[in-house]
Amino acid sequence: MSVGKVLLVEDDPLQAEATKKLLIKGGYDVLWASDGVNAIKSIKMHMPDLILLDVMLPGLDGHEVCRWVKLEDSTKGIPVIMLTAKKDISDKVAGLKGGADDYLPKPYNELELNARIYASLRTKALQDELRTKNKELEELLLKVEHMATVDVLTGLFNRRRFHEALASEFERSRRFNTPFSLIMADIDRFKDINDNYGHQIGDSVLREVADVLSGQIREIDTAARYGGEEFMIILPNTEKALAVVVAERMRIGAENHTFAGISGRRLTVSFGYTGMPDKLITNEEALIRCADHALYTAKQHGRNRVELFEGHNLESLKEL
């Protein structure tokens, strides 16, 4: 069984043949290129585990080939051992500065050649393992972050992520006077669904309503499950006059949607909305209170409707 694939880049046929025999004896699959251009072609085609690269080559020399290898994302992890008959220390330094992983002066013996290759491949294996573990860790962190910000049932953002997004948008609006709107939605008579059809069907209805709401918004908008059967939608760069259009689309979408498991029963959603900038709304909690009271008004006026509540009405909330 092969212990690795080695590309030998050597323009001297006799030297190449002798080195190939040593490598094959060591259990390696050997590829050979006699110049820099063909070396690059072979690297692209075969992706060797290691490159033995002579410095003195016709056309592109070894230093140029090495620089290409180390600049390409797909090949920069391949170990390069530079081979040269030159004894000058500056030549060795030039090779290492060009990205070579090791340097082997000619003539070399079988033991030293195998030792250098083994060491480079071992280092590469450790680096590959580290990259794999880092990738796994990144994926795990993304999964944990996803779990921390997403509502498991509906797939929308959860309450925590909603408050983070609202704080960010509120601050942006306060600093730059940019508009944004907040919509609060609540499924009408949802308790009846749970009582008559069970919580499993109730959960299904929540997921379908979430799909209806998220299907009417842009990528820059934030839709979140606020709690129970309540939802929040943040619409950046959106005046209240446009927010009502979005809310109406959502309302009509829910009203016309056929919900699985409730025997064709008509289901509706009520909406309350408000927005910024509004000099009388001084914090996020006040904004939420406005949207909540607008939703309360929609319920009081018969449900399945959209209502607006603004900052100039905040004083009336203190009496409630």
What percentage of the chain carries pLDDT values higher than 90?
A: 70
Q: Put the strands of the sheet holding 269-276 in their side by side order.
A: 222-227, 230-236, 180-187, 269-276, 306-308
Within this chain, do residues 36 and 168 fall inside the same structural domain, yes or no?
no
Within this chain, do residues 166 and 129 fall inside the same structural domain, yes or no?
no
In three-state secondary structure terms, 296 is: helix
Task: Domain count for the chain, please give it.
Answer: 2
Within this chain, do residues 167 and 296 fall inside the same structural domain, yes or no?
yes
Predicted confidence (pLDDT) per residue in 45-79, tens digit: 999 999 999 988 998 889 899 999 999 999 999 99
Cβ 62 vs Cβ 54: under 8 Å: yes
pTM of the prediction? 0.63
Residue 148 falls inside a structural domain:
no
Predicted confidence (pLDDT) per residue in 279-297, tens digit: 889 999 999 999 999 999 9
Cβ 183 vs Cβ 288: under 8 Å: no
Within this chain, do residues 186 and 251 fall inside the same structural domain, yes or no?
yes
Within this chain, do residues 106 and 175 fall inside the same structural domain, yes or no?
no
Structure tokens belonging to residue 112: 């030293």
> Which of the four pLDDT bands, split at 50, 70 and 90, describes residue 10?
very high
Within this chain, do residues 23 and 120 fall inside the same structural domain, yes or no?
yes
Residues with catalytic annotation? 229
Within this chain, do residues 120 and 217 fall inside the same structural domain, yes or no?
no
Within this chain, do residues 108 and 167 fall inside the same structural domain, yes or no?
no
Q: Name the residue among 101, 217, 112, 90 with its Cα closest to residue 157.
A: 217
Cis peptide before 107 (omega within 30 of 0): yes
Within this chain, do residues 172 and 307 fall inside the same structural domain, yes or no?
yes
List the CATH number of the domain containing 302: 3.30.70.270
Cβ 52 vs Cβ 6: under 8 Å: yes
Predicted confidence (pLDDT) per residue in 294-320, tens digit: 999 999 999 999 999 876 766 665 543
Residue 20 falls inside a structural domain:
yes
Structural domain boundaries enclosing 54: 5-133
| Domain C-terminal end among 83, 116, 133 | 133
Q: Angle at Cα 253 formed by Cα 251 and Cα 257, nearest 5°?
A: 120
